[in-house]
Amino acid sequence: MGRSTARAGPSQPTQTQKGRGGKRQQPVEEPSEEEEEQNEEDEQSEGAAMDVDGDDDDADSDISRKVNALVRLALFTEYKRSYLRRDDISKKVLGSSSRSFNQILELAQKKLCDTFGMELVELSSRAALDKDDDDGKKDTQAATGLKKKAAATKSKNYVLRSILDPILIERAAQTDEDILEEEAADQAVLYPTNLNIDEDEEENLDEEDARIEAGRAPKYYGSIISWSKADQLGSLGILYVILSLVLASGRVISDAKLRQHLRTLRLPSNSGTHPIQHTSTSTTREISLDDYLSTLLKQGYLHRQQVGGDVGGKKGGKKGGGGVKRVRTQAEDQEAGQVYEWLWGARAFAEVGEEFIAKFIAEFMVASEGEVDPDEEDAADARKKRKETLQKMYAGVEKAAGGKLVELS
Residues 84 and 162 in one domain: yes
Point out the domain boundary residue: 222, 239, 258: 222
* 128 and 191 housed in the same domain: no
Taking only Cα atoms into account, the Rg of the chain, rounded to an integer number of angstroms, comes to 36
Closest to 256 measured CA to CA, from 345, 194, 313, 330: 330
Residues 6+ apart with CB under 8 A from 58: none
Tell me the residue range of the domain where 206 lies.
177-222
Q: Are residues 159 and 110 in the same domain?
A: yes
List C-alpha distances in Å: 252 to 125, 206, 296, 402. Answer: 17, 39, 16, 10
Judgement on whether residues 117 and 200 belong to the same structural domain of the protein: no
Residues 184 and 163 in one domain: no
CA dist 269 and 291 (Å) reads: 10
d(CA 254, CA 260): 10
- The identity of residue 369, as a single letter, is E
Three-class DSSP category at 9 = coil
Structural domain count of the chain: 2
User: Distance between CA atoms of 189 and 202, rounded to whole angstroms?
Assistant: 20
Residues 116 and 214 placed together within one structural domain of the fold: no
Task: With beta carbons less than 8 A apart as the criterion, state whether 118 and 161 touch.
Answer: yes
Residue 109 sits in the same domain as residue 183 = no
CA distance 148 to 211: 48
Phi/psi at 94 (5° precision)? -80, -40
Question: pLDDT 10s per residue in the chain (409 long)?
Answer: 444 444 444 444 444 444 444 444 455 555 555 555 555 555 444 444 444 445 566 678 889 999 999 999 999 999 888 999 999 999 999 988 788 999 999 999 999 999 999 999 999 988 888 876 665 555 544 444 444 444 447 789 999 999 999 899 889 889 999 989 988 888 788 777 654 555 555 555 554 454 444 545 667 888 888 776 666 778 889 999 999 999 999 999 999 999 999 999 999 988 888 888 876 667 777 899 999 999 999 999 999 999 875 444 444 444 434 444 566 666 666 666 788 999 999 999 999 999 999 999 999 988 766 665 555 667 788 888 888 999 999 999 999 999 899 888 6
| One domain for residues 66 and 128 | yes
d(CA 251, CA 79): 28
* 63 and 98 fall within a common domain: yes
If asked whether residues 163 and 125 sit together in one domain, one would say yes
Domain identity same for 108 and 183: no
CATH code assigned at 94: 1.10.10.1200
350 is a domain residue: no
289 domain residue, yes or no: no
Q: Would 216 be classed as within a structural domain?
A: yes
The answer to whether position 243 is within a domain reads no
Please check whether residues 164 and 182 belong to one and the same domain: no
For residue 40, being part of any structural domain is answered with no
Question: What is the torsional sign of CA 244, 247, 249, 254?
Answer: positive
